[in-house]
A and B are shown apart, each in its own frame.
Chain A
Amino acid sequence: MEIVSDQQRKKIHPHKFTLWVAIGSIIMMFAGLTSAFIVKSNQVNWTPVAMPKVFWLSTAAILFSSLTLQMALRSFKQREMGTYRLLIGLTMILSLVFLALQWAGFRDLWDQGVRLKGAGAGQFLYVIFGLHALHVIGGIIALVVMFVKAFTGRIKIYSSVPVEVMATYWHFVDLLWVYLLVFFIIIGR
């Protein structure tokens, strides 16, 4: 990081900054999709869906995982590597639970008879929640890398930047999920 610290006089690290811009970009994609949803929902032939209850559980799982990741970040900063490993592992498990629950939610919809044919709330839901899940999977891959590093890595420089970047991204997909859920509940019927 030397070059960064000697060149840059701002407080924010370039990688973190890059992440924030990327987040802005992802927001625009979901803004595009959800505004398409709003436009469509005002037209004829709109078919609403009943939100599967299991999405509440997945919401709990991802909110909880944000919490554990935040705690992991804190223990990393305090050099408590044991706790850090534990919490990162926990976050990983919770994130996988989230994915599994999302899958269950999709199955539930499918069993209700919501198929890809058509252009109602159900089809949008598959696309939008599916894209969200892809972003979560991206995060999980990074988490796994981080987890493996926590065990094998000989951490020489205690830079918390990668962990912070990870945490920020994860909180973002978490909040994005909450937004999407609320959005579908309010506008989706």
Chain B
Amino acid sequence: MSEAMHTTSAVSAAHGEHHDEHHGHHKETFITKYIFSQDHKTIAKQFLITGIVWAFIGGLFSVLFRLQLGYPDTKFPILETLFGHWAAGGQITPEFYYALVTMHGTVLVFFVLTAGLSGTFANLLIPLQIGARDMASPFLNMLSYWFFFGASIVMLSSLFIQTGPAAGGWTIYPPLSALGEASIGSKAGMDMWLIGMALFIVSSLLGGLNYISTILNMRTKGMSMTRLPLPIWAMFFTAVLGVLSFPVLLSGAILLLFDRNLGTSFFLSDIVVNGQVLPNEGGSAILFQHLFWFLGHPEVYIILLPAMGMVSEILSVNSRKPIFGYMAMLGSMFAICILAFLVWAHHMFVTGLNPFLGSVFVLLTLLIAVPSAIKVFNWLTTLWRGNIRFTPAALFSIGFVSLFISGGLTGIFLGNSTIDIHLHDTMFVVAHFHIVMGVASFFGMFAGVYHWYPKMFGRYLNNTLGYIHFWVTMIGAYLIFWPMHYEGLAGMPRRYLDKRGWVSFSQFGDLDKMITVVTVIVFAVQLLFIFNFFYSIFKGRKVTTQNPWGANTLEWTTPIRPGHGNWAGEIPEVHRWPYDYAKDGRDFIPQTEPVGANESAH
């Protein structure tokens, strides 16, 4: 540990002293530059590209199980060719279906929208926007990526073992997940899930520690906390949430590993499997739910907050107006963080939770609507009468706001414990969280990629492809998820492979077909995006100006392709907040410009 700290401080010292000639980084090899890099910008790209690979895999899983849901009577021989006995006769088997749903959730929630999103943009933006040459500890930062990589390898290999990956939902509730004899998805795949997640948690913690300590300690001269761009505040709150809640999931995972492999009964009691009475006694399955959701609820905000921060920035830049209510944005993010720790039991209304306790959680849950509404109001007022430039990044940001409103409103339904008795574990919940979390955060991520691509690669993404990507995804997302509300209200359960047994759901047959068709189209358009992404790295239009969007923040004062250390000379000093757009008759005033003698303060 301390050895590592010495090396890293030597590296940062070299950069601090304006590139002392005798120091290492000029002799960088391929390995230190692209593989075991300690440059935060390279690490960001590593997270992004790994995230894209995972998004492809996770998205593909959803296409597969949607085929089954939309066309339960059709056989797809190609599936049998590809997946063998998992899709015997060209139809997805129940075990395969459950494994697909589980891994779809796990991959997208953790590997894409947590690591891929925070890992990319916290790494890229924190040093660039606060004016630092790198993270507080570039070495820990590199470790964070490699732990994520290790987690990815473990999770990915679980897909190829004979009994298949974990199955039982991304929430892996025991007793099912604890008992290998109960389901093949609870055999070796589940151990690999738990080990993969443990590595993942270590990665998140290392990353989070670094983000927090960098933001608090490494800001350039003049960059007070209230002059920080909003993405940085969002990353800060995200990291705090992660550092405080992931360890609790880790403790749950450790207890579950003990139950699975060493014969303890923390979560197990009074169980009969296949007519066999198990010896386990005295455990409590509900206990796991508490441990899980104590992370699980903050986790949804870990996913959403970075998107919120980036959208705030991108909306302000592209409507050429200051962000409306900067302090209110901070206050509401803070409130969301506090409340995020106090509402976990709203996922457990139907577990026999004491109704009085339940009503406390209803109250706290509904309180989240207040800061959420404040943020929505601020985004809308930022856009209001703005001089909007509809770049793909701006469109995705506007799409984000729309999705957040739609999905937030359904949250209020679910937050009432009485209504939730009807809606729990139905497609309504699936609709709610895909719109508010899944798609919305993806939109935030897309917005970020389109907006900061020029900084990452020195080239632009293709705009036309960007517009196609946006419109198809936007319309498609609503077509896919909106109808699920109706299914859920009618009582259709989630995670069921085959609903043909219920006459009452036969009315949804065509609807489910439509959803599946749209899913395939939307997936295809994501491939278009992936193409655009990789093609443009090499062939995209070159960036020729330092500040292509006319933005105020510090990353646009670095060279077009910044080296390790970010600024060639001194780190610029900051004199104002980042949102001086359309001020005193000027389009924008960068943060580095001193406040003029007769300039009005903001």
Spell out A's residues near B (CB within 8 Å): 1-4, 6-10, 12, 14-15, 17-18, 21-22, 24-26, 28-33, 36, 39-40, 43-47, 115-120, 123-124, 127, 131, 141-142, 145-146, 149, 161-162, 165-166
Contacts and interface: CB of A to CB of B under 8 A. Distances in A.
B294 to A, nearest CB: 7
B220 interface: yes
B200 to A, nearest CB: 15
A7 B133 CA distance: 10
Interface in B251-281: 251-252, 254-255, 258, 262-266, 268-269, 279-281
Interface stretch (B1-9, B86-94, B445-453, B508-516): B1-9
Interface string B419-430: 000000000000
A4 B132 CA distance: 10
Contact of B137 (A12, A14, A162): A14
Given A36-B255, A36-B266, A118-B264, A18 B137 contact: yes
B16 A6 contact: yes
B290 interface: yes
Nearest to A9: B221
B125 interface: no
Q: Chain B binding site: helix, strand, loop or mixed by DSSP?
A: helix
Given A1-B9, A119-B281, 8 more contacts: A3-B12, A7-B219, A22-B243, A29-B247, A29-B250, A43-B284, A116-B258, A166-B2
A43 B282 contact: yes
A151 B58 CA distance: 52
29 contacts: A3-B16, A4-B12, A7-B16, A12-B217, A14-B137, A17-B212, A18-B213, A21-B212, A22-B209, A22-B243, A24-B243, A28-B245, A30-B251, A32-B291, A33-B251, A36-B266, A39-B284, A39-B290, A40-B266, A40-B282, A119-B265, A119-B268, A119-B280, A119-B281, A123-B264, A127-B254, A127-B258, A149-B2, A162-B5
A132 to B, nearest CB: 12
Given A25-B243, A142-B1, A32 B252 contact: yes
Contact of B210 (A2, A18, A31): A18
A45 B247 contact: no
Interface string B222-257: 000000000000000000000111111011101100
A7 B132 contact: yes
Contact of A21 (B3, B209, B258, B269): B209
Nearest to A165: B2
Contact of B251 (A14, A32, A40, A118): A32
A29 B242 CA distance: 12
Given A10-B216, A29-B250, A22 B16 contact: no
Contacts of A17: 136, 212-213, 216-217
A26 B244 CA distance: 9
Contact of B2 (A1, A116, A117, A145): A145
Q: Chain A binding site: helix, strand, loop or mixed by DSSP?
A: helix
Contacts of B220: 7
B571 A25 contact: no
Nearest to B247: A29
Contacts of A116: 258, 262-264
B282 A2 contact: no
Given A15-B5, A25-B205, A118-B265, A44 B16 contact: no
Given A36-B266, A123-B266, A118 B205 contact: no
B140 interface: yes
Contact of B16 (A2, A124, A141, A162): A2
Contact of B287 (A9, A21, A36): A36
Contacts of B266: 36, 40, 119, 123-124
B493 interface: no
B218 interface: yes
Nearest to B267: A119
Contacts of A15: 5, 136-137
A2 B283 CA distance: 54
Contact of B209 (A6, A25, A119): A25
A67 to B, nearest CB: 21
B318 interface: no
Contact of A44 (B2, B217, B268, B282): B282
A31 B248 contact: yes
B14 to A, nearest CB: 9
B15 interface: yes
A45 B209 contact: no
A164 B243 CA distance: 22
A7 B16 CA distance: 9
B136 A117 contact: no
Contacts of A18: 136-137, 140, 209-210, 212-213
Nearest to B265: A119
Interface in B490-545: none
Residue among A29, A149, A165 with the highest chain B CB neighbour number at 10 A: A29
Contacts of A161: 5
Given A14-B214, A39-B287, A127-B258, A29 B248 contact: yes
A17 B245 CA distance: 19
A40 B251 CA distance: 15
Interface string B1-41: 11101100100110111000000000000000000000000
A28 to B, nearest CB: 4
Contacts of B219: 7
Nearest to A131: B254
Contacts of B245: 28
B2 A3 contact: no
A2 B14 CA distance: 9
Contacts of B140: 18
Contacts of A1: 9, 13
B287 A14 contact: no
A29 B213 contact: no
A120 B209 contact: no
Contacts of B216: 10, 17
A43 B208 CA distance: 36
Interface in B368-423: none
Contact of A3 (B13, B209, B246): B13
A131 B254 CA distance: 10
3 A-B pairs with least C-beta separation: A3-B16, A29-B247, A45-B282
A96 B248 CA distance: 28
A108 B213 CA distance: 43
A25 B247 contact: yes
A7 B544 CA distance: 30
